[in-house]
Amino acid sequence: MVIIAAPPAWTKTGEMAFIGKNGIRDCAGREIYVEKPFSRIISLYGAHTENLFALGLAEEIIGVSRNDDYPKSVLRKAKFSSHDGPEKFLAVCPDLVLVRPMIDRGYAPLMQRLEEFGICVVSLQPGNVKEMKTYWQILGRLTGCTDAAAAMILKFDKGVRQGRQMATQILKKKYVYFEAIHDKFKTFSPGAMPLFALACAGGRNVAENVRPVRGTNIAAFGKEQIMETGPKIDVYLAQKGPMNPVSAKDIANEPGYKVIKAVREGQVYMVEEQIVSRPTLRLLKGICKIGEILYPEVYTRKAQQGICNPSPL
């Protein structure tokens, strides 16, 4: 049996927590008490989908979002969207629909209708690595996979330790600007996962003193600030994906960017958004990729295998 307390008004995204022996609170303030693991799950966020597969729940996933493409077996799952009517969801009898706050807020009428039909809606999205571990544990509690969630955390922590150990071999650390959204001149705020990966790989962030935009992990770092810092930037990284659909050539051709050392020296690199901005185990691959870009003599292919596939304890 699952008891769901009525959610309060939206306050702050990211306030996920455990309640008692078998309860959780999601980002919207819903309190869900799990007496029986959910077993018919629709995931409307790629990170949820990826983590559910990592927990060994391929059979329990009965639907995913239209953009989900990892792992490959997800391509065989039924596709759903927040634009669909409740009838499509009801037709497959889910007991849990996992969303993130952006969808929960933007499509509140759909969420409400699903709940009225007895379907549990849970909104989750961690903002940093500490919250990511809590998030994995919450997924484990919802699905009865607490041991698998603990194993994910163990693997991640061991990979991070090995990545940081590799970074101790670096004698001179490079200064890096990490772009989040090119056309708005945005970077990442302190604590964001891409900056965590950068630090683990031994990079030094040139945009440290920035403030988050509206409580997100994105921060403004205007074009003038980028250009003023330009002579110090050894490597210019940019996430590549739906949030930032640009190329290294677009960045290099930005008017005025020739003052940036990294642009002049051809040190502009794209990093897939999915491996640096998603709260999944692939963040270890993000550390490896950044390390390979910055210090290829240290982050060799063999060394990367140790980080992404840490040996047993």
Which of 175, 195, 219 lies closest to 283, judged by CA?
195
CB contact burial 98-132 (16+ within 10 A = b; e otherwise): bbbbebbeebeebbebbbeeebbbbbbbbbbbebb
What is the percentage of the chain residues whose pLDDT exceeds 70?
94
Q: What is the CATH number of the domain that holds 232?
A: 3.40.50.1980
Q: Is residue 162 part of a domain?
A: no
What per-residue confidence (pLDDT) applies to 222?
95
Residue 292 · residue 304 · CB < 8 Å: yes
Residue 116 · residue 101 · CB < 8 Å: no
What per-residue confidence (pLDDT) applies to 7?
52
136 and 6, same structural domain? yes
What per-residue confidence (pLDDT) applies to 14?
54
173 and 115, same structural domain? no
189 and 133, same structural domain? no
What per-residue confidence (pLDDT) applies to 304?
83
Question: At 232, is the secondary structure helix, strand, or coil?
Answer: helix
Q: Is residue 158 part of a domain?
A: no
Give the number of domains in the chain.
2
Strand 186-188, strand 204-205: pairing? unpaired
284 and 219, same structural domain? yes
Q: Is residue 161 part of a domain?
A: no
214 and 118, same structural domain? no
Select from 109, 144, 179 the last residue of a domain: 144
The pLDDT of 174-197, averaged and rounded, is 97
Residues 6+ apart with CB under 8 A from 307: 159, 162, 163, 166, 284, 287, 288, 291
Strand 23-25, strand 31-34: pairing? antiparallel
Residue 18 sits at the vertex; the CA angle it makes with 38 and 148, to the nearest 5 degrees, is 55
Select from 101, 129, 144 the last residue of a domain: 144
pLDDT at 176 over 70: yes
pLDDT tens string 46-96: 999 999 999 999 999 999 999 999 999 999 999 999 999 999 999 999 999
pLDDT at 312 over 70: no
What per-residue confidence (pLDDT) applies to 239?
98
139 and 173, same structural domain? no
DSSP 21-82: TTEEE-TT--EEEESS---SEEE-SHHHHHHHHHTT-TTTEEEEETT--SSGGGGGSPEE-T
The pLDDT of 170-185, averaged and rounded, is 96
Q: Is residue 179 part of a domain?
A: yes
Q: Is residue 256 part of a domain?
A: yes
Q: Is residue 38 part of a domain?
A: yes
Range of the domain at 138: 2-144
What per-residue confidence (pLDDT) applies to 124?
98
Tokens of 258: 């020739």
Select from 144, 159, 183 the last residue of a domain: 144
Residue 207 · residue 222 · CB < 8 Å: no
Q: Is residue 163 part of a domain?
A: no
Q: Is residue 72 part of a domain?
A: yes
